[in-house]
Amino acid sequence: MMTLTQILSNLGIDEASIQGGELVVHSPTDGAVLGQIKVCSSEEVEIAITEAQAAFHEWKTVPAPKRGELIRVLGNKLREHKETLGELVTLECGKIYQEGLGEVQEMIDICDFAVGLSRQLYGLTIASERPGHRMAETWHPIGPIGVISAFNFPVAVWCWNTALAIVCGNSVIWKPSEKTPITAIACQKLFEEAAREVGNVPAGLSQLLIGEAAVGAQLVADKRVPVISATGSTAMGRKVGPVVAQRFGRSILELGGNNAIIVCPSADLDMAVRAILFGAVGTAGQRCTSTRRLFVHESIYDSLVPSLKAAYQRIRVGNPMDPKTLVGPLIDGSAYQMMQQALSAISAPRIGGERVLSEEYPGGYYVTPALVEMPISDRTVQEETFAPILYIYPYQDLNEAIRQHNDVPQGLSSSIFTNDIREAELFLSVAGSDCGIANVNIGTSGAEIGGAFGGEKETGGGRESGSDAWKGYMRRTTSTINYSTELPLAQGIEFDL
Ligand code: NAD
């Protein structure tokens, strides 16, 4: 394990540059102060947006495959620094090192995807109803893209947005979580190195704005930023969405989840237990896709739930850099308080949920993941508590389980464990899960970058990452070209003098 000084030196960051500012950053591991970062003033935000606009006007005319070259080099920088950046992610946001590495791998994967995409920004050719006419759809760069990100994926979310936005011909302005600015500084540094190596990249193509919500709010309100991609809580999206809509901007909202797994009688229970475990306790329950609710058919309840409890007893909670640890700390004391509040609001049998290691790490908030066995009721838990709490519900009828599954305000990720094709297809059908992500025989978390990522309802409706999510970072032009000598009007309208 490297010290912060070694990590920064490997990344070529001057340690003095993260000292002396007003934003104090603590490591969730032990509460130690990692840095004191300078926060952007309102004038600096203004300058960054102006520069990003200028950079956009240069970059938009660079051929897309050439833009892809920058992302190819960025991807290689990430490969080169995968371990170092992975350690920094662990140090600053507390996820275990394996997950820190996984997050950097996700960045590499989206860079590869975006490089390929840079030669595939396809439009359509459309049949015209008029003779001697052709219709076409072309995708153009749109402008500076504002990216607001959450603490729990401090680097991958930036890269999902940036890799696509850059090959699509845009500039990017990033407001990372105030809890994880150092990883953001590291990403910005790698981007700048890649830009230098490639050459002829406009200054200000990628900008970093460090600060709290107010800095993000200024970015969100600025008309010169046509797209705001905001990842975080539903409460944040509720503020950001209307501001962007009011100025006719576009928002890509990636907000909270309340994800569930349904386990059917024919399920492979060993697989189900492993998937539930990773989904519910991975990243200490601090993933937007974390499994928060579990519906278990009553016929298998007494075999699945005891196995799950036994697995919970074996989970190692501890320092996220220790390779034996599966669950690291919560991000901070307020996350711990929220977890305790959620647990004390429900009186039902439970295991876990206690603070541990407080003597060894008085400034770190480590908890044992909680399993709560809920009584049968009409409604399941409605809120997302960003902590490892799994609520288990027995069910009798799959349609009723699906109804309860969907009966929450959020709609991000979902999955079913079954070997019955009818149950699997029902879950994936229009009568099944209402989430943006619906899986069969894998858990709710750990999506690949190839698919479009995001969810419905209060999750915000945005899509990022793979599939055609790139269209969110471009504007569409529809063109009708007349190569005849006549001027026929659409719908056969006669309009002659
Ligand atoms: P948060 O909402 O507290 O903060 C997220 C970001 O929004 C931060 O950068 C913050 O400074 C900024 N922000 C807050 N208010 C703002 C405003 N009014 N204007 C502009 N910016 C503002 O979230 P968090 O605690 O960092 O992250 C956890 C939450 O994020 C959970 O709800 C989780 O489900 C969600 N999340 C969702 C996804 C997804 O893809 N759907 C991914 C990761 C996290």
Residues near ligand 1 (Cβ within 6 A): 148-153, 175, 177-178, 212-213, 216-217, 220, 231-233, 236, 239-240, 254-257, 288, 384, 386, 412, 459
The answer on pLDDT for 377 being more than 90 is no
**Residue identifier of the C-alpha nearest atom 9 of ligand 1:** 177
Average pLDDT, the chain: 97
**Residue identifier of the C-alpha nearest atom 13 of ligand 1:** 213
In the chain, the N- to C-terminal Cα span, in Å, equals: 82
Give distance in angstroms: CA of 395 to centre of ligand 1. Answer: 33
**Residue identifier of the C-alpha nearest atom 30 of ligand 1:** 232
pLDDT per position as a tens digit, 313-372: 999 999 999 999 999 999 999 999 999 999 999 999 999 999 999 999 999 999 999 999
Annotated active-site residue in 288, 373, 435, 464: 288
**Sequence-ordered list of residues with C-beta below 8 angstroms from that of 488, at least 6 positions apart, any chain:** 130, 131, 133
Q: What is the pLDDT of residue 184?
A: 98
Active-site annotation holds for 383:
no
The answer on pLDDT for 378 being more than 90 is no
Give distance in angstroms: CA of 462 to centre of ligand 1. Answer: 14
**Residue identifier of the C-alpha nearest atom 40 of ligand 1:** 254
Give distance in angstroms: CA of 346 to centre of ligand 1. Answer: 26
**Residue identifier of the C-alpha nearest atom 41 of ligand 1:** 254
**Are the C-beta atoms of 283 and 292 separated by less than 8 Å?**
no
Give distance in angstroms: CA of 289 to centre of ligand 1. Answer: 14
Report the distance separating Cα 417 and Cα 304, nearest Å. 12
pLDDT per position as a tens digit, 111-127: 999 999 999 999 999 99
Give distance in angstroms: CA of 275 to centre of ligand 1. Answer: 26
**Mean pLDDT across 232-255:** 98
**Sequence-ordered list of residues with C-beta below 8 angstroms from that of 369, at least 6 positions apart, any chain:** 280, 281, 284, 285, 312, 315, 317, 327, 352, 353, 388, 389, 390
Annotated active-site residue in 92, 254, 458, 464: 254
Name the residue among 260, 254, 252 with its Cα closest to residue 288. Answer: 254
Ligand 1, residues 231, 234, 437, 458: which to mutate, most atoms within 8 A of Cβ?
231
- Using the atom order of ligand 1, give the atom closest to the CA of residue 148: 9
Ligand 1, residues 288, 291, 464: which to mutate, most atoms within 8 A of Cβ?
288
**Sequence-ordered list of residues with C-beta below 8 angstroms from that of 235, at least 6 positions apart, any chain:** none
Give distance in angstroms: CA of 32 to centre of ligand 1. Answer: 23
Active-site annotation holds for 111:
no
Q: What is the pTM of this model?
A: 0.97
> Which tokens belong to 295?
């519906």
Q: What is the pLDDT of residue 121?
A: 98
pLDDT per position as a tens digit, 454-494: 999 999 999 999 999 999 999 999 999 999 999 999 999 99
Ligand 1, residues 183, 236, 254, 338: which to mutate, most atoms within 8 A of Cβ?
236
Report the distance separating Cα 399 and Cα 320, nearest Å. 40
Ligand 1, residues 92, 152, 332, 338: which to mutate, most atoms within 8 A of Cβ?
152
3-state secondary structure the chain: CCCHHHHHHHCCCCHHHHCCCCEEEECCCCCCEEEEECCCCHHHHHHHHHHHHHHHHHHCCCCHHHHHHHHHHHHHHHHHCHHHHHHHHHHHHCCCHHHHHHHHHHHHHHHHHHHHHCCCCCCEEECCCCCCEEEEEEEEECCCEEEECCCCCCCHHHHHHHHHHHHCCCCEEEECCCCCHHHHHHHHHHHHHHHHHHCCCCCCCEEECCCCHHHHHHHHHCCCCCEEEEECCHHHHHHHHHHHHHCCCEEEEECCCCEEEEECCCCCHHHHHHHHHHHHHHHHHCCCCCEEEEEEEHHHHHHHHHHHHHHHHHCCECCCCCCCCCECCECCHHHHHHHHHHHHCCCCCEECCCEECCCCCCCCEEECCEEEECCCCCCCCCCCCCCCEEEEEEECCHHHHHHHHHCCCEECEEEEECCCHHHHHHHHCCCCCCCCEEEECCCCCCCCCCCEECCEECCCCCCEECCCHHHHHEEEEEEEEECCCCCCCHHHCCCCC
Report the distance separating Cα 433 and Cα 277, nearest Å. 21
Q: What is the pLDDT of residue 1?
A: 82
pLDDT per position as a tens digit, 289-307: 999 999 999 999 999 999 9
Give distance in angstroms: CA of 207 to centre of ligand 1. Answer: 19
Q: What is the pLDDT of residue 78?
A: 98
Looking at the chain, the whole-number percentage of residues with pLDDT higher than 90 is: 99
pLDDT per position as a tens digit, 59-109: 999 999 999 999 999 999 999 999 999 999 999 999 999 999 999 999 999
Give distance in angstroms: CA of 161 to centre of ligand 1. Answer: 15
